[in-house]
Structure 1
Amino acid sequence: MLDKTINLLVIDDDDINIFIIKKIVEKTGYKISMTAKSNGQLAIDYIKETLENNQILPQLILIDINMPVMNGWEFVEAYTGLNVTEDINLYILSSSVYENDIEKTKSYNNVKGFISKPLSLDRLTELLKEVEIKQF
């Protein structure tokens, strides 16, 4: 494992889920800078600001589907319109059990997959390994 920081963006309106993910992040052994946004619009604004200020974008984004203001699908559409050139790993992280949500994930080229909540330490570690291999 390299000593570089991985930037993680979590988009979820549930404070308990954010808390759980923070605790899991602490147990991975990776150096992670985690940012959490409570809806897709705040996340889009964050990414735009990051781009405008030439800051480092997140290498991994976990997106809940059901949120106020801008849901996960609307975020993915808006994110696609930003024309981000970096290859960022986007994953839908949802408690949805609907097959159409899992299938819809496959219709977006920039979304790598669907993860059912709750996020596990093993699954997050797998995602971080993917980022590490690709980025560093």
Structure 2
Amino acid sequence: MNVEVLNVDDDKMVLFIHQKMMVNAQFCDSPKSFEDGYESLAYIEKEKNNNKHFIIFLDVNMPKLDGWAFLELLGNKGLSSYCYVFVITSSIDHTDQDKAETYPAVIGFVEKPLSIEKLKNLKTIEKLKPFFN
């Protein structure tokens, strides 16, 4: 089984920083970045197969397609089973975390800023262990 890591955030600087941290934390050698949720959904649809999964770091607050609408479309298109989503946001609103947990593809909630330490801890999540052993 192989996995691909996707960053979905409308902020180019955040995408750049997350990419560098992922490489430095040995979380992923070459994460893909998308500034638009629609583009990332199209990519998943095109690239999905039974042996490929996606770990997605999803920003909640984006202009074209926010994180909640992205998660709805992911489910409606039948793509949830291929994806492990971390909702990543600077929001400290606990209702966001509660809402995130209602989506089957969401396996975690991460507050910005993402750090090397947080990434190393994420590798120990039970659902992700097969990808990092």
Per mean C-alpha deviation after superposition, the further-off stretch among 41-50 and 25-34 is 25-34
Equivalent-residue separation in structure 2 for 1:109 and 1:55 (angstroms): 18
1:64 equivalenced with 2:59 (yes/no):
yes
Name the structure 2 match of 1:28.
25
Which residue pairs with 1:116 in the alignment? 111
Residue 40 of structure 1 pairs with residue 40 of structure 2: no
Question: Which segment is superposed worse, 4-13 or 71-80?
Answer: 4-13
Unaligned runs of 5+ in 2: none
Q: Tell me if the contact between 2:9 and 2:36 (Cα under 8 Å) persists in the aligned partners.
A: yes
RMSD: 2.4
Percent of pairs with identical residues: 27
Does residue 129 of structure 2 align to residue 133 of structure 1? yes
Match of 2:79 among 73, 79, 84: 84
Calculate the TM-score normalised by the size of structure 1: 0.82
Q: Match of 2:31, SS? A: strand
Q: Which residue of 2 aligns with 1:17?
A: 14
> Following the alignment from structure 1 to structure 2, what is the Cα–Cα distance between the partners of residues 48 and 40?
12
Q: Does the CA contact (< 8 Å) of 1:5 and 1:32 recur in 2?
A: no
Give the number of equivalent residue pairs.
131
1:124 shift after superposition: 1.0
- The alpha-carbon deviation at position 99 of structure 1 amounts to 2.0
Gaps of 5+ in 1: none
User: Is the CA contact 1:5–1:31 (under 8 Å) kept in the aligned structure 2?
Assistant: no
- How far apart, in 1, do the equivalents of 2:51 and 2:89 lie? 26
Q: C-alpha deviations, 1:87-112, integer Å up to 9, x for none? A: 53211000112222111112112211
